[in-house]
Chains A and B, each alone.
Chain A
Amino acid sequence: MASVAGRKYAADERRRDSDHESFLVHRRMRWFKIAVAISIIAILGYALADVKPRPNGGSWYGYILGTIGALLIVWLSLLGIRKRAMTAGRWSLKAWTSAHVYLGLSLIVIATLHTGFQFGWNVHTLAYGLMLLVIFSGIYGIVVYSMLPTSLSNNRREMTKREMVESLAAIDRQLEHAAQPLGREEADLVIAALEQDPFGYGVWTRLSGHYRNSRTEAAIAAFSDVRNKSEAEDRVRALLGKRIAQLQQIRRHLRLKAMLEVWLYIHVPATIALLGALTAHIVSVFYYW
């Protein structure tokens, strides 16, 4: 009986392990091995296939690689639909994602061999270029997903996004109150800082983390220059310091978040564009057969 219980425990352990297992190492990297095998077979075939006058997408081997590549691309892009249904088991979403990643990587080999290393300013190379864009944005996505969440979590310091916003709002309210005794010029500095939307920056600023024209920083610089600060000025200066600290946390969060999300803004539209270019590639070949 003990062995039955033991087996059940072991099975549960496995399930629990698999629940926390990354799609990258799913099933002892089964899809990685399959993808490597496919790539090696494709390379060996390319070396051995007697294709004259030169390797070309229009040779018999080229057609085989092209067919495999096209089917792979269509299947890989179906993840966009498949991911909406999270299931477990043999055809689990995790298995599907693992296959998506590794088969997608093997597509670099298959499609490059399909080109026969012939490139030009045409729809065929456009499709190839879009495919590489999709694959490399995907590689970037995997890298940032495995590296950045820790930084994101460290930057939060146990604050939720809402708390960050509310903290900033609280500081702003105090600033507004504290700035009441100030003169016109100084009050204008505070108003300018308060009016600036911390989220009103484009994707490049978010990604780079270099916020030019930050009025809060300008106000801090201005207040730091004032000698013999009045009590009110002192308070405003201190609150501005708190504000910039809070802003910087938000900016770091924005930066990490942008780095985590930006690849999908390339990966997904480029996939759709690739499907269009792939269609044009195949139709054009047969149209001018």
Chain B
Amino acid sequence: MTFRVRTIDQTAAGREIVREREIAKDTITIGRAAENDIPLPDLAIEQRHVSVSQTPSGQLKVEALGTLGFTVDGRTTKSATLSPREGSELALGSYRLEFTSASDGAIAVTVRSAEGHDDHAKDALRGFALASVLPGKRAVAWAALAVIVIAFLAVPIYTHLTRTPAKPSIDQRGQVLMDASWSPGPLSAVHHSLEKNCEACHVKAFVAVRDNACLACHKDIGDHAAHARLIAARGPMSWGAGFQRAVANVFNKPGPGACTDCHIEHQGSGPMPSTRQEFCADCHGTLDQRLKDTTIGDASDFGKVHPEFAALIDTAPNQAKPVRVSLAAHPKQWDGLRFPHDIHLDPRGGVARMAMTLGKAGGYGAPLECGNCHRPTADGVRFLPVNMERDCEACHSLVYDKVGPIYRTLRHGDIAQMQADLVASDRSGHAPIVTGRRRPGEYAPGGLYNSNFAGGSGVVGRAMSPDGVCGECHFATRTGGRLGVMPVIQRSRFFAHGWFSHADHKQQACASCHAAKASKSSTDLLLPGIGKCRECHLGEDSKKAKVPSGCVMCHSYHPREGAPATAELVAMREGE
């Protein structure tokens, strides 16, 4: 067994000095002491450190002789088996010994000093950390911080402070850059065009949106009442509301009574959320306690506290102005007409039969329904006035004469013409078709044409009498000797302060609210009371309601169509 030991030393200049010698032994020892087969002068190595011997299979067995181990292929151990065929490296202190098998069967041992290799190992150790392949946390953090602060703070603030003042406009984009990133949510549909013009409303930095910003566009908006009355009407705040108000004051929020109190923006596209009933109930819940002269009842919740409706009606003939009367008193109205709904709507009565006789071609063909006479307006909110010629005359014929095949008809609404026509027909030679005598046939009562000219003195007098063709529906008058009828009042709107749309109630049958079938006289006010509405509508927070209903479902804070507008505009308040 031969070990061929090759020692490679380096001179200071870097030149290699190679010495070779052969050791013919089965076991060699390596250590610091000179008597070792391979002496290595390194204090980290023990005097007799390891022994190397060949096993029968040709492997090399390396064993530590002392307490210190050695390193094989980078691993520290105290005993190892090396394969000289594959080659193995033994590290001792600062020396490295490479064992390989030579072609002649000897074991070649190359001994090298391994000074100056530590730096490489240290570099490699650093490579284990992720920091070696990623940008530093600090650098990334600063960069992200800088981007965010510049884009979302510096740019909008700078451009806001340096913009040229402009009147708010829905046609222009704002001058402030990047402030869209500040928007907490889309504006409502009506303000959509202001989406890119934040400073139209947010005029001054750190100053909450003021009424002036709203009034810049909403110039003509009317206020709810005189400002002094609004202040007087405001009820005491609850503890929570008072605290919120105090905090709002600290943060320089406008109000109470500011536009933004009720109208809250940035809640999403679509309609602006309707104002909550509590904003109305603040004052109206106990209004009578503070406004002693008020004529309106307290209201805080439609389902709980709300006065009975008051309808605007005439209660007597020749009334100067209509009056508001509570439905609670079951008032009778004066409309200048004799009209029993019950007869007309009776499905088995003469009217029904007549309508069936007239047939589909005549526009009927079935017992009368409400819609045969009451036609909705184009928007479906209300109804058009009933029109005599269109809605009544098919049955209530004004035919008074027949000349050859031609029927002569009175002109509705023109009394002088009616007088002249009837007098003229009276004078003519032929017998009028109406004589007052009842006889069977198509001109008889219940027949196709039936104008009752009977009774009274003369044909005109008979027509105007309560049984006559005019007096059947109208009340005759005589003013300054001239014959006439009381004006017919057909009201399209009964509730001055509330809003009701028939269009929104299309799914309901008329009779579910209007008790027309049982009404014998048109003096009956066929309006449903609040109790009927409450079958579906209760207050905003009601859990039982089929339709939870806040105040603004029927009422408007700002005067709207038909309401008695207070002249005072919100804009005036700012000047006070």
Contacts and interface: CB of A to CB of B under 8 A. Distances in A.
Interface of A: 52-54, 56-58, 60, 118, 120-124, 126, 159, 161-171, 173-174, 177-178, 197-199, 201-203, 206, 231, 234-235, 238-239, 242, 246, 253-254, 257-258, 261-262, 264-265, 268-273, 275-277, 279-280, 283-289
Given A53-B276, A60-B244, A273-B141, A162 B152 contact: no
A81 to B, nearest CB: 14
Contacts of A231: 85
B273 A163 contact: no
A78 B396 CA distance: 92
Given A169-B120, A273-B141, A284 B156 contact: yes
Of B180, B185, B266, most buried by chain A (CB within 10 Å of CB) is: B185
B125 A235 contact: no
Given A163-B74, A171-B73, A174-B88, A280 B152 contact: yes
B76 A261 contact: no
Contacts of A201: 133
Given A53-B264, A167-B74, A168-B74, 12 more contacts: A56-B184, A159-B74, A165-B74, A170-B73, A173-B98, A174-B98, A177-B98, A178-B100, A234-B85, A269-B144, A273-B141, A288-B202
B91 A170 contact: yes
A289 B208 contact: yes
Contacts of B202: 287-289
A64 B121 CA distance: 56
B86 A276 contact: no
B525 to A, nearest CB: 37
Nearest to A58: B184
Nearest to B74: A167
A174 B87 CA distance: 7
A87 B462 CA distance: 115
B87 A178 contact: yes
Interface string B116-156: 01001100110111111110010011101100110011001
Contact of A170 (B76, B89, B110, B180): B89
Contact of A272 (B74, B144, B206, B274): B144
A279 B276 contact: no
Given A163-B74, A272-B144, A287-B205, A279 B251 contact: no
Q: Which of A258, A264, A286, A288 has the most CB of B within 10 A?
A: A288
22 contacts: A53-B274, A60-B247, A120-B185, A163-B76, A166-B71, A166-B91, A167-B75, A169-B120, A170-B89, A171-B73, A174-B98, A177-B100, A199-B127, A238-B86, A242-B86, A257-B129, A268-B141, A269-B140, A276-B144, A288-B182, A289-B202, A289-B252
Given A161-B128, A173-B98, A269 B152 contact: no
B62 to A, nearest CB: 14
B140 A265 contact: yes
Contacts of B127: 197-199
A203 B88 contact: no
B325 interface: no
B74 A286 contact: no
Contacts of A269: 137, 140-141, 144
Contacts of A198: 124, 127
Contacts of A165: 74, 121, 124-125
A60 B247 CA distance: 10
A44 to B, nearest CB: 17
Given A265-B140, A288-B179, A273 B205 contact: no
Pick from B76, B89, B98, B266 the residue with the most CB of A within 10 Å.
B89
B133 A203 contact: yes
Contacts of A283: 153, 157
Contacts of A271: 141
Contact of A123 (B75, B144, B152, B273): B152
A239 B87 contact: yes
Contacts, number: 190
Given A52-B276, A171-B73, A280-B153, A199 B132 contact: yes
Nearest to B125: A161
B456 to A, nearest CB: 67
Nearest to B198: A288
A275 to B, nearest CB: 7
B183 interface: yes
B59 interface: no
B85 A235 contact: yes
B273 A124 contact: no
A172 B145 CA distance: 45
Contacts of A159: 74-75
A54 B268 CA distance: 10
A197 B267 CA distance: 57
B125 A162 contact: yes
B75 A163 contact: yes
B182 A275 contact: no
B121 A57 contact: no
A180 B239 CA distance: 93
**8 tightest Cβ-Cβ pairs between the two chains A and B:** A167-B74, A199-B127, A53-B273, A272-B141, A166-B74, A273-B144, A269-B141, A280-B152
B267 A54 contact: yes
Nearest to B179: A288
Contacts of B251: 286, 289
Interface string B205-233: 11111000000000000000000000000
A280 B148 contact: yes
Which of B120, B152, B207 gathers the greatest number of chain A CB atoms within 10 Å? Answer: B152
A275 B141 CA distance: 10
Contacts of B117: 169
Contacts of A60: 244, 247
Interface string B87-127: 11101000010101000000000100000010011001101
A83 to B, nearest CB: 14
Interface string B368-395: 0000000000000000000000000000
A120 B134 contact: no
Contact of A235 (B87, B130, B186): B87
A48 B536 CA distance: 26
B181 interface: yes
Contacts of A54: 267, 273
A56 B128 CA distance: 48
Contacts of B110: 177
Contacts of A203: 130, 133-134
A164 B267 contact: no
B216 to A, nearest CB: 17
Contact of A276 (B125, B133, B149, B185): B149
A289 B207 contact: yes
A30 B134 CA distance: 37
A175 to B, nearest CB: 8
Nearest to B84: A235
Contacts of B156: 284, 287
Interface in B245-273: 247, 251-253, 264, 266-268, 273
B436 to A, nearest CB: 70
A124 B266 CA distance: 13
A269 B136 CA distance: 9
A122 B273 CA distance: 22
Contacts of B73: 167, 170-171, 242, 246
